[in-house]
Amino acid sequence: MNMMVAADTMPSVQASAAPQSVAAHISARALAVDFLVKGHRQRVLEGIDLAIPKGSFVSLIGPSGCGKSTLLKVLAGLVAPSEGTVTVAGVAPREAAKHRMIGLVFQDATLLPWKTAIENAAFLLQTADKSIPRKQAMERAAAMLQLVGLAGAENKRPAHLSGGMRQRVAIARALALDPEVLFMDEPFGALDAITREEMSRSLLEIWERTGKTVVLVTHSIDEAVFLSREVHVMGVNPGRIIETLPIALSHPRTEESFTEPAFTAAEARLRGLLIESHRSKGSA
């Protein structure tokens, strides 16, 4: 799939160039979250420590109910932590969101059915900053639709788009804000296997072009290994990070990456950790 974008629209960033020794772009220290369930306080996350460098692509993986989505929402400023601290680009997540540093993509694209693809892609930008002229917002949205491979589909409404195309619009909508960080919660979970693989390759290309910091929640081991520089594996009861696994695959990543020994080793390690985590969940 050709997703070339004019150089003055989106600079090219090499995935391998992001430094690993700089201060964390996303940081969590001694993070804990409690929910009130039937009048009783239940700890759903405990002792979370994260330090994600700027420009990194990391994944959160773990059994259902381990708190992956809750952790993502805390990092994005949608859920307040009960204990500990969280910062995005040196400020509290809600402050970062206020200044359009954070983009969010969920499993459901949640497009407005009466708006075209370009209108949906421009919607958050226009809502977040009403001082932006409509022409400028539309130009930005058009550039992002081109980036995600939807040039030519700008005037189609969601009913005339496939599931994968709708998710591309949702990604373009988040990118139109020009956020520093892109948080993605199972964005391809509802797609068929082939479309999901295509979307994974597209997302990797977008990341390589934009240099955004990306945090992805996924249930797919292959997806986590193929996309990520680092995978955080979560355990349960309460949710916590049981291991952080660096992914030693070279860039650019291609179909051949799936046959590299580093891919096979990382996949086997993650599968073993997830099996162990599922057993812990069942015995609790």
Quickly state the pLDDT bin for 270 (edges 50, 70, 90). very high
pLDDT at site 40: 87
- 238 vs 185: CA distance, rounded Å: 20
Strand order in the sheet with 213-217: 102-105, 181-185, 213-217, 57-61, 230-235, 240-246
Using CA atoms, how far residue 122 sits from 115, 171, 185, in Å, is: 10, 11, 21
CB atoms under 10 Å from CB of 50, counted, come to: 20
DSSP letter for 91, please.
Answer: B
Sorted by sequence, the CB contacts under 8 Å of residue 65 that are 6+ apart come out as: 236, 281
Whether residue 280 contacts residue 237, with contact meaning beta carbons closer than 8 Å, is answered with yes
Quickly state the pLDDT bin for 15 (edges 50, 70, 90). very low
* Mean pLDDT over the full length of the chain: 88
Q: Is the pLDDT of residue 21 over 70?
A: no
Using CA atoms, how far residue 193 sits from 23, 199, 207, in Å, is: 37, 10, 21
Q: Is the pLDDT of residue 19 over 80?
A: no
Q: State the architecture of 22-101+230-284 in CATH terms.
A: 3-Layer(aba) Sandwich (3.40)
Whether residue 236 contacts residue 66, with contact meaning beta carbons closer than 8 Å, is answered with yes
3-state class of 61 per DSSP? strand
Quickly state the pLDDT bin for 37 (edges 50, 70, 90). confident
Sorted by sequence, the CB contacts under 8 Å of residue 238 that are 6+ apart come out as: 32, 43, 44, 45, 46, 67
What is the number of residues in the chain?
284
3-state class of 167 per DSSP? helix
Percent of all residues in the chain with a pLDDT value above 90, rounded to a whole number = 74
Mean pLDDT confidence for 191-216? 91
pLDDT at site 22: 54
pTM recorded for the entire structure: 0.87
Q: Which two tokens stand for residue 170?
A: 């949702």
Quickly state the pLDDT bin for 281 (edges 50, 70, 90). low
pLDDT at site 164: 92
Quickly state the pLDDT bin for 233 (edges 50, 70, 90). very high
